[in-house]
Amino acid sequence: MTKDFAQLAVNTLKGLAIDGVEQANSGHPGMPMGMADLATVVWTKFLKVDPSNPRWIDRDRFVLSNGHGSMLLYSLLHLSGFPVTMQDLRQFRQWGSVTAGHPERHLNLGIEVTTGPLGQGFGMGVGLAMAEEHLRAVFGPDLFDHRTFGFVSDGDLMEGISAESSSLAGHLGLSRLLYYYDSNGISIDGPTSITFTEDVAGRFRAVGWHTLEIDGHDRDAIEAATLEALAVEDRPSLIISHTHIGHGSPNRQDTSGVHGAPLGEDELKLTKELMGWPDEPFYVPDEVRAYFSQSMQRGREARQEWLDRKDELFADQPELAALWDSHFHPKPIELRNPGFEPGSSLATRAAGGKLFDQIATAMPGFLGGAADLVESTKTVVSFSGSFSVDDRTGRNIHFGIREHAMGAIVNGLAVHGGLRPYGATFFVFSDYMRPALRLSALMAAPSIWVYTHDSVFLGEDGPTHQPIEQLASLRAMPNLWVVRPADASETIEAWELALNRTDGPTVLVLSRQALPVLERIGREGLVERGGYIIREGDHVVLVATGSEVSVALGAAEKLAEAGTSARVVSLPCWEAFFAQDAPYRAEVLGDGLPIVSIEAASTFGWERITGAAGLNIGIDRFGASAPAEIIARELGFTPGAIAERVSDWLNGL
Q: CATH no. for residue 628?
A: 3.40.50.920
What number is the average pLDDT over the span 64-68? 98
Q: Which of the four pLDDT bands, split at 50, 70 and 90, describes residue 653?
A: confident
Which alpha helices (DSSP H) does 276-345 contain, by range? 286-316, 318-328
366 and 246 together in one domain? no
The predicted-structure confidence for 141-163, as pLDDT tens digits, reads as follows 999 999 999 999 999 999 999 99
Q: Which residue out of 104, 112, 164, 403 is catalytically annotated?
A: 403
Q: Does 75 share its domain with 149? A: yes
Compute the distance between CA of residue 606 and CA of residue 597 in angstroms, rounded to an integer. 7
- Total number of domains constituting the chain: 3
Average model confidence (pLDDT) across the chain: 97
Beta carbons within 10 angstroms of residue 636's beta carbon: 15
Q: Do 365 and 468 lie in a common domain?
A: yes
Percent above pLDDT 70 for the chain? 100
Q: Domain residues for 640? A: 529-651
Longest distance between any two alpha carbons in the chain, whole Å = 92
| Cα–Cα distance measured from residue 538 to residue 546, given in angstroms and rounded to the nearest whole number | 23
Q: Residue 136: is its pLDDT beyond 90? A: yes
Domain CATH number, residue 485: 3.40.50.970
With respect to residue 315, please indicate whether it lies within any of the assigned structural domains: no
CA distance 114 to 443: 6
Among 516, 551, 584, give the residue marking a domain's end.
516
Question: Do residues 76 and 128 both lie within one domain?
Answer: yes
CA distance 11 to 288: 10
**pLDDT given at position 591:** 84
Does the annotation mark 403 as catalytic?
A: yes
Residue 3 has pLDDT above 80, yes or no: no
3-state secondary structure of 79: helix
- The answer to the question of residue 97 being in a domain is yes
Q: Are 428 and 470 in a shared domain?
A: yes
Q: Which of 456, 467, 546 is nearest to 510 (CA)?
A: 546
In a domain, 332, yes or no: no
User: What gap in Å lies between CA 232 and CA 236, rounded to an integer?
Assistant: 8
Within this chain, do residues 439 and 566 fall inside the same structural domain, yes or no? no
Distance from chain centroid for Cα 42: 26
Cα 45 from Cα 79, distance rounded (Å): 14
Mark whether 350 and 449 lie in a shared domain.
Answer: yes
What is the torsional sign of CA 256, 262, 264, 269? Answer: positive
**Does residue 181 lie in a domain region?**
yes
Cα 37-40-42 angle, rounded to 5 deg: 105
Does residue 325 belong to any structural domain of this protein?
Answer: no
Helix axes 2-24, 265-275, angle to 10 degrees: 170
Cα 614 to Cα 46: distance, rounded to the nearest angstrom: 62
The last residue of a domain, from among 248, 277, 301:
301
Asked if the model's pLDDT at residue 4 lies above 90, the reply is no
Range 40-56 average pLDDT: 98
Specify if 331 maps to a domain: no
Stretch 86-115: mean pLDDT? 98
Residue 166 binned pLDDT confidence (cut-offs 50, 70, 90): very high
Residue 1 pLDDT > 70, yes or no? no
Q: How far is CA 466 from the centre of its chain?
A: 24
Alpha carbon 402 to its chain centroid, in Å, reads 15
pLDDT, residue 2, reads 45
Final residue in a domain of this structure, among 244, 274, 301: 301
- Residues 358, 258 share a domain: no
Same domain membership, residue 551 and residue 487: no
Based on the fold, state whether residues 592 and 481 are members of the same structural domain: no
- Summarised one tens digit per residue, pLDDT across range 292-328 is 999 999 999 999 999 999 999 999 999 999 999 999 9
Mean pLDDT (whole number) for 185-209? 97
φ, ψ of residue 386 to 5 degrees: the values are: -95, 140
**Same-domain pairing of 551 and 629:** yes
Do 212 and 75 belong together in one domain?
A: yes
Model pTM score = 0.98
**323 in a structural domain:** no
pLDDT band for position 470 (cuts 50, 70, 90)? very high
Position 67 in a domain = yes
Distances (CA, A) of 29 to 43, 44, 257, 469, 550: 19, 22, 10, 40, 58
pLDDT in tens, 248-266: 999 999 999 999 999 999 9
The span from the CA of 247 to the CA of 258, in Å, is 10
What letter does residue 38 receive in the DSSP assignment? Answer: H
